[in-house]
Copies of this chain bind each other. A is one copy, B any other.
Amino acid sequence: MYNMTNMVRPLAHDDVFQAVASPARRTLLDKLSSREQTVHSLAESFDMTLPAVSQQLAILRRAGLVSARRAGRWRVYRLNAEPLREIARWLDSYQRFWTARLKALGEDLKRYEKQDERWR
């Protein structure tokens, strides 16, 4: 289906969550958030070989989180934060819990003590 002609694979939602699950990839995003950078430049500040960095960037690219342009023989990567909105949207539905929880914390504590139920 997606191998046909020039069809673009739809941005799978899951990929974004998975892409940011890796500390290394989050660091890459962080570095790119200050300025666009070449692969070499990104790899320098890393305890990782250049191909490894290149591979991680490919994953970020597939998730739509970075884009690359050629500049001479360099490839300049740039952050594209937009897909992160997917995560933000997802988080929104949970936000009420930590606001609600803070309000209800006092009573909860009392209640659970009485019930003699232990949460772990």
Contact = CB atoms under 8 A, between A and B. Distances in A.
Contacts of A88: 88, 91, 95
Given A17-B26, A20-B17, A81 B67 contact: no
A68 to B, nearest CB: 7
A23 B14 contact: yes
Given A26-B17, A98-B82, A101-B81, A120 B68 contact: yes
Q: How many copies does the complex hold?
A: 2
A33 B94 contact: yes
Interface in A1-57: 14, 17-18, 20-21, 23, 26, 29, 33
5 contacts: A18-B21, A26-B90, A84-B94, A87-B91, A88-B95
